[in-house]
Structure 1
Amino acid sequence: MLIGEVAQRSGVSARMLRHYDRLGLVTPTGRTSGGFREYSPEDIRRLFHVESLRTLGLSLDDARRALDEPGFAPSDLVGDLIRLTRQRIAAEQELLTRLERVDASAPAQWGDVLQIVTLLRGLESEFGARRQQAILSQDESATLPPEALAAAVLEEKDLNVAGALQWSLARASGQGVATLAAGLDSADVAVRRRAVAAIASVPSAEATAVLQRALSDPDDTVRDRASLALGARGSVDAIPLLLAMVVDGRRDVEAAEVLGQLTQVSASAEDIVSALQNELVGTDDAAVRLRITQALAEIPGDAPRAALTVLTTDGDRTIAATAAAILTVQDRHRRAQKG
């Protein structure tokens, strides 16, 4: 079979066939009377073997060694090819992710594209200061890729950088919440904590709905952050957890403040005071009773004032003195307002 016919049937160009011949990789065993190369069936078989090995990523030299050296073991070479292929796939996947994030930002000009790429590269830095600078140096008018910011939040361990990322997400009109929500499903509690902190910084209805999910998280920190954020947004669903935070002493001052805010927008002060009083009756723990007494100071209205008045005669001197001091401060504040 002449070179032209071999090229047509094999899909290997005549130029490449001549190159194989020069390398001694696939050399036609015959010549026509006119001196043209003539390939035998065995030559064609070797050619297909070479092409098969090349599809695995072998170089021409490795293909020749595999076919001609009896002691050539494929295991090491194939292992190297697997490793290199995985690296190439990872690099291509990284490129694809970067392109998708650029595309998601819908850049209008090449300048926007370059700014986004600069941000993405900055977020990949091993130095926290550089990651933070990449975020804060962005033009306020720039359209940043919210999904990339959200993904970075879930991985960011530096609190300063995480704060900058949350600030940027808050500017992104509530976008990126879906990525953050996925972080709440992570088996890694640190990821869930970062996710809920970031979601709490996003002022959107979607973020509020996602925070509701976090109220049932097994981790106290995740639940506490979600309940504080929801309470600040007027959600009465957060009340049971906020009360538990006061009783257990987990961010109890913040929890009491949020309970006070809730009574002004969506909850009944009487109901919250009643719940706190029930906790008072149900415990002899002096520290718990003191926290509940102090929490009553944050609730506006007559109901908490009546409860504090009763506590001024409590058998625990610290409780009684605290209740009396709170009432004194409130009275002074009232007089100042009237004056």
Structure 2
Amino acid sequence: MTHARTNESTSLLRRALSAPAPSTRLQAALTAGSAPTVEDVEALIERCAIEPDFSVRDMLTWALVRNDTPTVVERLLVELGSEVAQARAQALHTLSKIGHPDTWPAITSSLLLDDDHEVARTAWRTAAGLVPPGEETALAETLSTQLNRGGREVQLSLSRALVALGEAAAAAVERATSDPDPGVRAHAIATARLMKDPDEAFEAAIGEARRVVALRAAPAVRD
């Protein structure tokens, strides 16, 4: 349920969201979410783009999810084209929490392949959750081009997205296990292991995958 709020109240919210203390900003976002009003949407989304504290950003998302869905979604879609990487990433994260299927077309290849790791990994997770029936294989093909990207957290995010796609991702992952790049091969092999056993730890899967790749690349020993 949304509530009416005066311009003065919204101005107070903006000031509170700009306070030096994270605890003050957190309380401001909590208050906005406890009595949601569309007048606050702009201030909340603007803060998402620049808020440095993870807990506050999470509370901003919670406040937006509790607000009027059409208003919030429309404004978040604009943020996906922002030049600010955090704005794009936070918009994707909030859209994933809202889970509105009509937002799927906005999860473009440019976001899935974004140069910023945080934007890309958030796009992967969001896309895997919103992909409509019949689009899973195409999404898996796009995601498979990002194998061996970034460090441990980025690679884990990609593997989780591919695992979430299930059988639709199997062919793309299997094909990548023969990629000329040993890093791609290892990440693909690790992902294939996780698809078979989602409970396996990523560190164990990637460690074993790298061992397999190294053994395959080692020259044969002649007697």
When the two structures are superposed, what TM-score results if normalisation uses the length of structure 1? 0.47
Partner of residue 195, structure 2: 299
The C-alpha deviation readout for 1:226-280, integer Å capped at 9, x for no partner, is: 12211123452532343233333552223222222222xxxxx2x5333223222
Q: Which segments of 5 or more consecutive residues in structure 1 lack a partner in the other structure?
A: 1-104, 264-268, 302-315, 323-339
Give the structure, 1 or 2, with the largest relative contact order (CA under 8 Å, sep 6 or more).
2
Per the alignment, in what secondary structure is the counterpart of residue 49 of structure 2? helix
Q: Does 1:208 align with 2:104?
A: yes
Alpha-carbon offset, residue 152 of structure 1: 2.0
- The amino acid that maps onto 2:165 is L
Alpha-carbon offset, residue 296 of structure 1: 0.7
When the two structures are superposed, what TM-score results if normalisation uses the length of structure 2? 0.68
Q: Which segments of 5 or more consecutive residues in structure 2 lack a partner in the other structure?
A: 198-208, 216-223
Alpha-carbon offset, residue 288 of structure 1: 3.0
Alpha-carbon offset, residue 292 of structure 1: 1.5
Q: Does 1:227 align with 2:124?
A: yes
Provide the identity percentage: 20
Note if contact 1:183-1:192 (Cα within 8 Å) is conserved in structure 2.
yes
Q: CA 1:163–1:139 in structure 2 vs 1: closer, same or farther (change >3 Å)?
A: closer
Give the Cα separation in 1 of the matches to 2:210 and 2:51: 47
Q: Does 1:128 align with 2:22?
A: yes
Partner of residue 243, structure 1: 144
- The amino acid that maps onto 1:319 is V
Partner of residue 259, structure 1: 162
Alpha-carbon offset, residue 295 of structure 1: 0.6
Give the Cα separation in 1 of the matches to 2:210 and 2:102: 48
Give the Cα separation in 2 of the matches to 1:248 and 1:196: 20
Note if contact 2:99-2:130 (Cα within 8 Å) is conserved in structure 1.
no
Give the Cα separation in 2 of the matches to 1:193 and 1:176: 15
Partner of residue 155, structure 1: 50
Off by >4 Å, runs of 4+ in structure 1: 112-118
- The amino acid that maps onto 1:152 is R
Q: Larger Cα Rg: Structure 1 or Structure 2?
A: 1
Give the Cα separation in 2 of the matches to 1:317 and 1:155: 38
Alpha-carbon offset, residue 320 of structure 1: 7.9
The C-alpha deviation readout for 1:75-130, integer Å capped at 9, x for no partner, is: xxxxxxxxxxxxxxxxxxxxxxxxxxxxxx651xxxx5486565344223233321
Note if contact 1:242-1:259 (Cα within 8 Å) is conserved in structure 2.
yes
2:13 to 116, 119, 131: 119
Q: CA 1:122–1:319 in structure 2 vs 1: closer, same or farther (change >3 Å)?
A: same
Partner of residue 180, structure 2: 283
Note if contact 1:128-1:158 (Cα within 8 Å) is conserved in structure 2.
yes
Q: CA 1:245–1:272 in structure 2 vs 1: closer, same or farther (change >3 Å)?
A: same
Give the Cα separation in 2 of the matches to 1:139 and 1:282: 48
Q: CA 1:317–1:170 in structure 2 vs 1: closer, same or farther (change >3 Å)?
A: closer
